[in-house]
Amino acid sequence: MGSVTSHPVERVLAPLAAALPGLEALYVDFHRHPELAFAETRTAAELARRLEADGFEVHTGVGRTGVVGVLRNGEGPTVLLRADIDALPVEEKTGLEYASTARGVDEAGNDVPVMHACGHDMHATWLSGAASLLAAAREEWSGTLLVVFQPAEEGSGGASEMIADGLFDLAGRPDVVYGQHLVPGPAGWVLTRAGVLMAASDTLRITLHGRGGHGSRPETTVDPAVMAASVVLKLQTVVSREVAATEPAVVTVGSLHVGSVGNVIADHAVLEVNTRAFDDAVLLRLRAAIERIVNAEAAGANAPKPPTIELLNSYPATSNDETASDELTEVFRGHFADGTMLPAPLVTGSEDFGEFGAAAGVPSVFWLVGGLEPLEVITAMTEGRFETDIPSNHSPRFAPILHPTLRVGVETLVVAALSRMSHPGVG
């Protein structure tokens, strides 16, 4: 591993101040034009165009709509930098001048509003900016830079699709994988954590089978609406009564659909249930409890057949390599001002970022970057109003401030890459 001094980092980052207006315009463009999972064609085209202009070998359509840039720059390690690019079916309510009014078609064929409510527009902008700076300063480092713009992180398996589509055939297996996520912390903060950072997650689709009929004659039916209501309430006891208080876990019924009009009892109900835990054994216990409860409620309702339970997606916990994470944390501390580097909390959100390092068999490190108005966030924290007053990721009101968020996110990626690259002329 080449030693890092401030000199290569400072020289690579020197053009960043002049580049910020262009990166702001890029971010605003992405925010105005969000695209759902595996539909990120406009976003992918712009990112590919920028990589080509910076001299990267560019591969498009990797994992359907993913973009990969390869920059070979002599002998040295291969560093993979990853950003996700998909948006969510959320109607924006930020009031921003550049708020999204876009619409798209979801996986079920429904017309839905679309918003970058999780910061993936910022992630894409950060990585595009970092790639440009590193490409423009090739004399400061040696090795191979692998830039990955991943589609479909939001529950659709974009990472695994890119890997299955031959991602590592393009530039060989990386020596390390780095990534980051925008969070509702104060802009300028960088948060790191060795070991487990984000939860493992399962999403289940449960179909409860009833017997439909006229709303005036419920005695002739098996009502799936009543069955579903009972299931929803019973599932709330899984964490409170079947998981130890020392083992964090979440069970959320995020979607429930039954019937279409008030005077018709439907013949089925569909629920989508999301579970999260930091321990795989706990996640398995959650799934077993859900299956037991759902089957018992169906049997108790005299359902004509057992429920159907489908696993829609399953993400492992995001776990940072301890040595690589500790090393990078020290590098960040040497670069960023005192008071901006903090330990990250455990995050019950989930990510498929870890699949890249796992598939390559190499260390991976994922960290968090704050993006909201510092005074507002810190005041809300100290007054106990953070959960109620500060919009989180996936909120229709989630809106990062542009500065210093843009600068810090580009710097973290550049500093991380240079921490592993060989440095010509540096001992």
Q: Which residues are catalytic?
A: 86, 153
Strands in 189-262 per DSSP E: 190-192, 195-198, 200-209, 213-214, 249-258
255 CB-near residues (< 8 Å, 6+ apart): 270, 271, 272
Asked whether residue 120 is marked as a ligand-binding residue, the answer is yes
Indicate the helix (H) or strand (E) that contains 312: strand 308-315
The helix (run of H) or strand (run of E) holding residue 333 is: helix 322-335
CB of 145 within 8 A of CB of 332?
no
Q: What SS3 class is residue 359?
A: helix
Residue 280 to residue 204: CA distance in whole angstroms: 16
Strands 78-84 and 176-186: parallel
Q: Is 181 annotated as a binding residue?
A: yes
How many other CB atoms sit within 10 Å of the CB of residue 267? 18
Show Cβ contacts of residue 150 under 8 Å, excluding neighbours closer than 6 positions. 63, 66, 82, 83, 84, 85, 158, 159, 162
Angstrom distance (rounded) from CA 283 to CA 275: 7
Are 35 and 41 in contact, with CB atoms under 8 Å apart? yes
Q: Give how far Cα 385 sits from Cα of 2, 370, 381, 388, Å.
A: 45, 17, 6, 5
Q: Is 57 marked within a binding site?
A: no
Annotated binding site for Mn(2+): 118, 120, 154, 181, 394
Annotated binding site: 118, 120, 154, 181, 394
